[in-house]
Structure formats: C-alpha cells, structure tokens
Chain A
C-alpha cells in the first residue's frame, strides 16, 4: 500500500517536472515581454511598451506576415497533394510503388542544412533563384513527406470494404472519396496539415539559404535581429505566436480525436 502511494507521488512529481521543463522557458519569455527592463531585470514592472514598439517594427511585422502566408499556402498545397498521393498509394498497385514509398522517408532524415544547400544550388541553376517563391517551394518539398506519412498511417486503419460498400450503393469514385474515405482520414489530414504548418513556420535553415535581403521570414528575421542586439520585441512577437498556435492546437484537438473513433 505505502509503496504504491510513494510511486504514485513520484509519478506526479515526474509529470510536473516534465511540464515545468517544457513550459517554464516559454512562461518566463512571455512574462519578460511585459517587463519594463529589456535585460530581464527584476523586480517585474508591467508594460506593454514592447508590444507597442513591435507594432512600429515594420521589418519584423513584414517578416511575420511572410511567414504566415508561406506557411498557410505551403500547408494547403501539402495537404491537398499529400492526401491525394496517399490515396493513390493506398488504392493502386503500380510498378515502382514500393520504391517510391521508400523514397519518401530520406527527406525527413536528411539534415535541413544539407537540403537547404542543395536547394539553393539547384534553384540557382534552374533559374528559380532566391526569394519568397523559392522559400515556398522549398517548404512544400520539405513538408510534403510528413503529410504523406501521417495520412498513409491513418489510411492503414481504413477498412477497404467501406469503399466497396459505397460503390455497391451506386456511388462514383468522387462520391466514395468525398463522403466515405475523406471523413475517415480527416484526422490524419488535419494532423498532417499541422505538421506541414509547423515545418514551414519553424523553418530557419532552408529559409535562410533561400531568402533575399529585405524579404525574409520571421525565424530568419529574429536571427538577424538577435545578431544585431536582442530586444524584448522578439519576446513580444514570440508570445503572440505561441498564444495563437496553442489556441489553434487546442481547437484542433477539440474537434478531432487524433486517435480516431473506436
């Protein structure tokens, strides 16, 4: 009895330590974005000054919008193309299918630094060059395998008889996909989309290689700003991003059970 209770307490402490490890740095950063001192000096004095000056920092705001735009577009492209590719891999048997599926994994494992260098050289050679369009293209290429892997995993739990049943009831291919298959894989599509968004929005290395001066994404801009000298504006913009992305995650978790229905 006593041992069980001790173990139970140890378990609880472990969980709290884990959560503290994950969230303390974020909480401190969020608090400091409201602190008067730019050098993390205590006592804490409340201010929204950094948020106000963030509003004046056109470069940071432009970079943020670039990042959001690229991430949203990359997410849409990746979920559509990735889900379609997963469905094709699930439904059809064709020559070289196994090879193609195996080829999907290396891009996840190859360091982004190497992928970024390769993309820079390649884009330069074929005339795509650098810029936001090149960043978008790079992000799509990076994020696509994640979507395919996640959606394919979800499709593995799909009962093929469901498509057969729908067809036997007179549904054509599009009706089968839209009304039976897609609802089933939707949690996978959403999860894959979140991955794609995260890969793109977090992306520093590849964006850094493909960005042109003056037209960059937020992570690249933050890196440049820190090199020039740290300002609490970075804390402010980071806090806003954390709040927005956590709200998005919670909303998604609320509407989609990732484990799927039993």
Chain B
C-alpha cells in the first residue's frame, strides 16, 4: 500500500489542455473520488496515475517513488475499467490469475491467491465460468478480484459502476467500500455521479476543465463550497449574486443576505452566496421576526412531490429558487401562493466572484 502524490501535473492534447497544473495528495489507505462532468479531465488524471499516459510536466509519486515516466506494467497498480475489460478467451479463474501468471508466480500459489480473491468478492464457486456467462454485477466483481489479487499499491477505478442499474449500483457501492476497508488499499475512484462520490469516499476532488476546483472531505465540500461550480455540481444550491458587504452580499434590489460561512471578503467587490435547498424554511406568513435570519418573499410557481419530500420552485425577483421540504404531513403549499423564505446565515456560504 502506498499514498499517491500528484504535483503540478499538466497534460495537453493538441491545443486542448486536458489537465492544467493539478496537485492532489492521496493519503495512504484512503478512498478518494475524482468527480467532474465529462471532459473535466478526471479520466485523464486517472490515466496519468495508472501510467497509460505520461504528463507533459509535473510529478507523480506512488509510495514516495517517482513514477511519472514509468510505464503502467511496472507501476504495480490495480485498475477496474468502466466496461470491466475481462478477457473473453479465459475463464473467470484465469482472468483473476492473469496478473500473477505474467509475473511467473508458481501454480500452487496462483491457485490459492485466486481462490482467496474470488472468495473476497463472493464469487468463490464461479471460477470455471466464462465472462459472458456472468451478470453485470458478477463481471464487476471479477474485474475487482483481478485488480486486487496482485496486491497492487493503488486501486484505480474508472466509473466502475456506470454500467450497472440503480439497485445493483447501490449494492456494489457498499460491497466495494467493504472490500476496500478489508484490504486497506489506497483507492482512487473516477465518477460523474455526485451521490456515489458523497456516499463512498473519504475525500472528493472536483475537477472542471482540467483544473482542480476543490478538494476535501465530502461534508466540507458540501457545506462550504469554494466556487459556484462546486456548490452546484456537488448537490443542489441556490446562488445569489451581488455586491460584497464583508460578511454577506447586497442584491441589486437592496436586499441584504448575511453569510456565516465561507470566505471573508473585503467590502466593495462582487460575490455570491450559496444556500442548499433543504436549509430554507418556507412559510405562508411573515410571522414574528426571527433574529438575524435571512428572509425573502416570493411566489410558489411549481411543486414536485417525491414521496419523502417536496421540491418547491419559488419565483423571486426574476430568479427561481429551490426549496426542499421534508414530508412531515403538514399542510402543503399550492402553486401561485405567496410565501416567505427564511434561512440562517450559518447555512449561507459566501463565495468570491469567479
């Protein structure tokens, strides 16, 4: 096992900058998600760490050893591909044995290790099958067993659950996490699914246009996004834009919004505030003034009922705000109703203008 350090890595394909000066420290034994839309560079970064492609500049170390010019076959990594990439001409056991066999391991050792790896992914009895006789979830497990049987220093996963249906994906998320904990391997996981990133990883790195936007534990990124992109890509957020007042912003119509989290900015410039939809309380009357809570008036334009919660779209000053209300059996608001929105400054993140 080993940690991975990526320092100032850049990679261009022609005029396109796929990675632009990216630095991330992947701690030993951690489960790390690289999250971003397609074209953000997350897969390019994974391929640099794997050694399928080399950076134009920058350093990559695995366990302290510089590897940026070491080809993939010498890096001792394990990789799981999006479409599994199981060898169709080999049985499940031979697929898993491949990495040991090309290293010239003796047959008896290979047999024991393969069985152990298959048991770990709960496919102990299917060694004799061919890949095309397996279900998607089973192929996924074989791919995982094949990647970890060689005891790699790092496990790299390229959208490994993308091809599975929803229910199976949730099962595999739990399973993958269990296996990762059991063997304690440093894991780097590429995904565009924010929910997957939030539920599985110890830390998340958000990429956009080849740059690292923000990096940290899921809770930190969710509660204190540093950019509008991070706020809206990981989870949902209402964004207000206006002039900085130091501890908040003033909207164009003069309304002040106080922020209790995020950056501290000098008054005078432009800035935004982000508020999560579930942090906003919605009511039909103003009621008693509520301390220092932010307050806005608006009109419900639409309600989407989703069982355990409802999403209200509230029109306010030419902007549509989103509010998510848990289904507690209370009165539901009708479309067209005038409402008052309130939320605390602590739920408001001040973001410097990008």
A and B found bound together: yes
Contact indicator per residue, chain A 170-186, by CB within 8 Å of chain B (1) or not (0)? 11100100011001100
Q: Which residues of A contact B88 (CB under 8 A)?
A: 162, 184, 261
> Which residues of chain B from 38 to 79 have a CB within 8 Å of any chain A CB?
50, 52, 71-74, 76-79
Contact with B99, one of A159, A162, A170 (Cβ below 8 angstroms): A170
Q: Does B108 sit at the interface, judged by CB under 8 A?
A: no
Contact with B87, one of A162, A170, A172, A262 (Cβ below 8 angstroms): A162
What is the size category of the interface that chain A forms with chain B? 10 to 19
Q: Does A169 sit at the interface, judged by CB under 8 A?
A: yes
Q: Does B85 sit at the interface, judged by CB under 8 A?
A: yes
Given contacts A162-B87, A164-B52, A165-B87, contact A171 B132 (CB under 8 A): no
Q: Does B146 sit at the interface, judged by CB under 8 A?
A: yes
What is the size category of the interface that chain B forms with chain A? 20 to 34
Q: Does B166 sit at the interface, judged by CB under 8 A?
A: no
Q: Which residues of A contact B52 (CB under 8 A)?
A: 164, 167-168
Q: Which residues of A contact B77 (CB under 8 A)?
A: 168
Q: Does A85 sit at the interface, judged by CB under 8 A?
A: no
Q: Does B89 sit at the interface, judged by CB under 8 A?
A: yes
Contact indicator per residue, chain A 135-168, by CB within 8 Å of chain B (1) or not (0)? 0000000000000000000000001011011111
Contact with A159, one of B71, B83, B156 (Cβ below 8 angstroms): B83
Q: Does B98 sit at the interface, judged by CB under 8 A?
A: yes
Are the CB atoms of A170 and B79 closer together than 8 Å? no
**Closest chain A residue, CB of each to CB of B88:** A261
Are the CB atoms of A169 and B102 closer together than 8 Å? yes
Considering the chains assembled together, what is the distance between the CA atoms of A138 and B125 in angstroms? 55
Q: Which residues of B contact A175 (CB under 8 A)?
A: 102
Contact with A180, one of B71, B83, B87, B150 (Cβ below 8 angstroms): B87
Considering the chains assembled together, what is the distance between the CA atoms of A261 and B143 in angstroms? 20
Are the CB atoms of A171 and B78 closer together than 8 Å? no
Minimum distance in angstroms from B163 CB to a CB of chain A: 12
Most buried by B among A179, A183, A262: A179
Are the CB atoms of B85 and A164 closer together than 8 Å? yes
Are the CB atoms of A162 and B85 closer together than 8 Å? yes
Given contacts A175-B102, A183-B89, A262-B132, contact A168 B72 (CB under 8 A): yes
Minimum distance in angstroms from B75 CB to a CB of chain A: 8
Considering the chains assembled together, what is the distance between the CA atoms of A97 and B250 in angstroms? 62
Q: Does B81 sit at the interface, judged by CB under 8 A?
A: yes
Considering the chains assembled together, what is the distance between the CA atoms of A165 and B144 in angstroms? 12
Q: Which residues of A contact B98 (CB under 8 A)?
A: 166, 169, 171, 179
Considering the chains assembled together, what is the distance between the CA atoms of A180 and B98 in angstroms? 10
Contact with B85, one of A159, A170, A261, A262 (Cβ below 8 angstroms): A159
Are the CB atoms of A165 and B103 closer together than 8 Å? no
Considering the chains assembled together, what is the distance between the CA atoms of A153 and B88 in angstroms? 18
Are the CB atoms of A170 and B103 closer together than 8 Å? yes
Q: Which residues of B contact A183 (CB under 8 A)?
A: 89
**Closest chain A residue, CB of each to CB of B103:** A170
Q: Which residues of B contact A167 (CB under 8 A)?
A: 52, 71-73
Are the CB atoms of B132 and A261 closer together than 8 Å? yes
Minimum distance in angstroms from A112 CB to a CB of chain B: 37
B residues with CB within 8 A of A: 50, 52, 71-74, 76-79, 81-83, 85-89, 98-99, 102-103, 132, 146-147, 150, 156
A residues with CB within 8 A of B: 159, 161-162, 164-172, 175, 179-180, 183-184, 261-262
Q: List 17 A-B contacts (CB under 8 A).
A: A161-B81, A162-B87, A162-B88, A164-B81, A165-B85, A165-B87, A167-B71, A168-B50, A168-B78, A168-B147, A169-B102, A169-B146, A169-B150, A170-B73, A170-B99, A171-B102, A179-B102
